[in-house]
A and B are shown apart, each in its own frame.
Chain A
Amino acid sequence: MQDVFIGFTSITWQMLLMYAIGGVLIWLAINKEYEPMLLLPIGFGAILVNLPLSVVWEHAGANGFLKILYDMGIATEIFPLLIFIAVGAMIDFGPLFKNPMMIFFGAAAQFGIFATMIIATLVGFDLKEAASIGIIGAADGPTSIFVANLFAPHLLAPISVAAYSYMSLVPLIQPPVIKALTTSSERKIHMVYHESNSPKWLKVLFPILVTMISGFVAPISVPLIGSLMFGNLIRESGVLERLSQTAQNELAYLVTLLLGITIGASMSAENFLTWKTFLIMGMGLVAFIFDTAGGVLFAKLVNLFLPKDKKINPMIGACGISAFPMSGRIVQKMANEEEKGNIILMHAIGSNVSGQLGSVIAGGMVLALVPLIYIAAGM
């Protein structure tokens, strides 16, 4: 008789708490429209895996369908790489080619990754865990998943949830940080935009050369940068329009759907309800704040060396994060609010696509440098 009611008798308060967390994620997705394509599947996955006996994960010695998806798509890192092909097909590097100076903001805004990694070591995480937590600052879900899966798979669930949650909260996180670090007159700086067309051959050659150079600098970053640039090459080749559209739509939607529910399924109560999760959520926010601050302060530093008529609106620096095109739009909105008619969108988008490159390169650097120090440490 007890077996009949096993579903009820095996409920724990931890499970109930996870249902609530899953419910909050679904609520955020539906009511607030915060990254709904990811938060909704993640929320539902969290509920599924915490149901009694967790049949979707593993039961009676056999893998459940979500465990199979996890082993196939996350453990092998296939899902994040497929997402990168889709993202690459969506990126237009045109605004960057017209104003290549913007590329450096894509580097400066990765500061949050490293600052957070240092903070994480101070609160007791080891180097690999700290690096995985810092990567939340890449503002780039697939890179976060890729690095966390290699360095700290036991922290994958909270890191993924933090990465996607804060990406969706960029419109709330960035404006106060930007306002705190800039004056009103700085936010009113106008930037001249020169309309010119980049040569077609540059658009085709760029993804190939970026992949090769990244491969020489940090070979371990090739899966990430290679899949991103493959998608971009499909887009820019001009002869694979259907493949490009498929990557941008069907591939992106299908993999996002599976990725979301699989990440959610890794949120079992025993893995998720730990003090580390709360620390990771807090440090994820720190990472986004430091990213924004790093970009803005770098722009202010560059302004010290520029003539008065060529100053950069320092808000552009905040767009160097990978949250594309959300960050660029926010900065344009802020510029317009500060002074009606101040158009800096194309510069902002140039900086924003640089953030896509910068985050992947930073991920590659972390992947290359941490094992260099870590392996021989004998830990």
Chain B
Amino acid sequence: MDTIIEYFKAMGERYADGSLVYPLGTTIQALGVTAGGLIGVFATLGIFFLMIRLANLISKKPK
């Protein structure tokens, strides 16, 4: 995980004049945030989904 973070951090490095060391470095950083963000949103909402399903199962009255 640390290696991945270090890689995306490096993408934001700039020369003294402010230009990016790696062309499209900021866009690559944005791609990293996108991947992490989408996984995070799906995973978090997935936990809520399981929570609701579990609650519905528990509350189901036996026929």
Contact = CB atoms under 8 A, between A and B. Distances in A.
B3 interface: no
Nearest to A366: B37
A372 B44 contact: no
A120 B59 CA distance: 47
Contact of A213 (B42, B44, B52, B59): B44
Given A114-B37, A362-B41, A365-B40, A103 B56 contact: no
A379 B14 contact: yes
Interface string A90-133: 00000011001101101100110111011011100011001100
B33 A104 contact: no
Q: Point out which of B14, B32, B52 has the most chain A C-beta atoms below 10 A from its C-beta.
A: B52
B59 A127 contact: no
Nearest to B55: A202
Given A130-B30, A369-B33, A379-B14, A218 B45 contact: no
- Secondary structure of the B contact surface, majority rule: helix
Which of A210, A214, A365 counts the most chain B CB atoms within 10 A? A365
B45 A107 contact: yes
A217 B40 CA distance: 8
Contact of B37 (A96, A100, A101, A113): A113
Given A111-B38, A213-B44, A372-B5, A198 B56 contact: yes
A378 B14 contact: yes
Contact of A373 (B12, B40, B58, B59): B12
A127 B12 contact: yes
A209 interface: yes
Given A130-B26, A376-B9, A106 B45 contact: yes
Contact of B38 (A100, A110, A126): A110
A114 B41 CA distance: 12
A370 B33 contact: yes
A284 to B, nearest CB: 17
Contacts of B9: 373, 376-377
Contacts of A201: 55, 59
A103 B48 contact: yes
A214 B44 contact: yes
Nearest to B51: A209
23 contacts: A100-B52, A103-B52, A107-B38, A107-B41, A114-B37, A118-B31, A121-B27, A127-B33, A131-B30, A131-B33, A205-B55, A206-B48, A206-B52, A217-B43, A218-B40, A361-B41, A365-B37, A366-B33, A377-B13, A377-B29, A378-B13, A379-B12, A379-B14
